Copies of this chain bind each other. A is one copy, B any other.
């Protein structure tokens, strides 16, 4: 069947036939209706990911219809509309994934394809209020945002939240989740357009982190955040430690601008801060995320929809970093 194959690093994806192999017991074959891009997919094309095996169909996010099951016991899944948890083998420790944890799209073939084989236990019913494109936009960003904000960040209603670098899939869903549970949310970006979009989604304040003294302005007009959701780290991290409320939590689900210059340990212990790492999420996080999305009818923001054949244009859109929300492939 056809899928977008990465055959060699730093080459365009190629729409080509490949072999999904035998459908094993405990697995289902899903005819994908839509898939979505993550930064992970781009990093893999650049070789910036451990354990790359080529050729491989990329893609961690997808939604579609079950067309075949590997054993008779699972026939009730046939024709079901499903959304796929991209994570497998999290393990038994809610606090962290096991060494066996993998994500769809490497080392197993992913969702940039007409079909995929997935473990039965990875499938959940597609939330009814979502289109196929919206459903496909949800899994990896959704579970990552849920774990960062709720499971690791322990957000409570009425708290102040700052989501840095708004526009990315995780950051945008973290904003939406925080608004849904009754938090007051501010965002940062270097783009005034993205700050404006975030306010449409419920942010009550937006700050341009390129502006000198933005933290002072934020402290005065918004207050000190109880929870900060960040994926940049780097030089700006010192500002986050400074602006966090006493007892505040700073959750990082990435560190795209590298290590912080210096960690102010005095502030850490005197302000009783918690600096928390978070990545992807467990099956419990995935279920919790879907419950939250269904309860509040949250819709992930779609930046742009491409066809499967336009996969390289979709990757180029991600590389530019201009997107607000998810880049989706309609299949």
Name A's B-contacting residues (CB within 8 A): 93-97, 152, 233, 245-248, 252-255, 258-260, 262-279
Contact = CB atoms under 8 A, between A and B. Distances in A.
Contact of A275 (B94, B245, B266, B274): B274
Contacts of A277: 265, 267-274
Nearest to A261: B262
Given A252-B265, A265-B252, A265-B259, A97 B276 contact: no
The 4 lowest CB-CB distance pairs between A and B, nearest first, are A95-B247, A255-B265, A96-B246, A96-B247
Contacts of A252: 265, 268-269
Contacts of A266: 255
9 contacts: A95-B247, A95-B248, A97-B272, A233-B265, A252-B265, A259-B263, A265-B277, A270-B279, A273-B277
Q: Is the interface of A mostly helix, strand, loop or mixed?
A: loop
A50 to B, nearest CB: 10
Contacts of A96: 245-247, 271-272
A165 to B, nearest CB: 14
Contacts of A272: 95-97, 152, 276-279
Residue from A97, A246, A276, A277 having most chain B Cβ neighbours under 10 A: A277
